Structure 1
Amino acid sequence: MPGHHIPEPFCWDESFKVFYENLDQQHRILFSALFKLSQFPTEQDALTVMVAVMNAHFLTEEILMKRADYSERGPHKNAHDEFMSKIRGFHVPVSAADMNYCKDWLVNHIKDIDFKYKTKLTYQT
């Protein structure tokens, strides 16, 4: 099954909107961090930032899923964990193949996995 179109230049657009402003803003940051790393694949700081913002976003998302008792939380977290395991093994210079993997993963994760939680992350306090 073919994946979703990978935008070039690699930047967030309205087609990635999950309709939770905090998560949409974090997704914009993820796109920006990947774009910067693709522009500067030899810079350790760019790699470090990309890994850090991915991790922070995934933690936020997982907290929201837990609070909402979201039924797909387990598989969703597993997808995050597998991705984080892979990118934590990256070293500079980051290869074009690794960059393409990250871009493809993020686009398809948002559109195929994150879109499933639209309207389902609200909870009663």
Structure 2
Amino acid sequence: MKPVLKYGLFIATLSLSVMTSTCYAKNVSVQQFWQLQQQQPNVIIDVRTAAEFNDGHLYSAINIPYQQIATIVTHYPDKAQPILLYCKSGRRAEIAATALEKLGYTAIYNGLNYKKLKSAQPLPTP
């Protein structure tokens, strides 16, 4: 392998490792999402539209459309509190997670797909 190519690969790898070390959001499986929800106090945020939320949502979820996610700071100022996000496919939740990272939140989990999460959701305890 040519030295220039080796150097370029080294720089690219180093750049990726630096970028990922500053990223706090994590995509989690359906099982991980519900384990996190049961382990500690957290906030479940549905980042879909109000109409989608009204058609169905997870128990105890609140609706903050992804475009308005910055409004969370007035209700949840503790930036270390775990936040569980979801939407229809995970893309809007990813956008919301990036915005939350920029606001300084450090425990963000993207559960991705509403239908999969809903089908595996444990029954609420009375």
Tell me, yes or no, whether TM beats 0.5.
Answer: no
User: What is the TM-score of this pair, normalised by structure 1?
Assistant: 0.27
Higher helix proportion: 1
Find the structure with the greater CA-based Rg. 2
User: What is the TM-score of this pair, normalised by structure 2?
Assistant: 0.27
Task: Report which structure shows greater RCO (CA 8 Å, sep ≥6).
Answer: 1
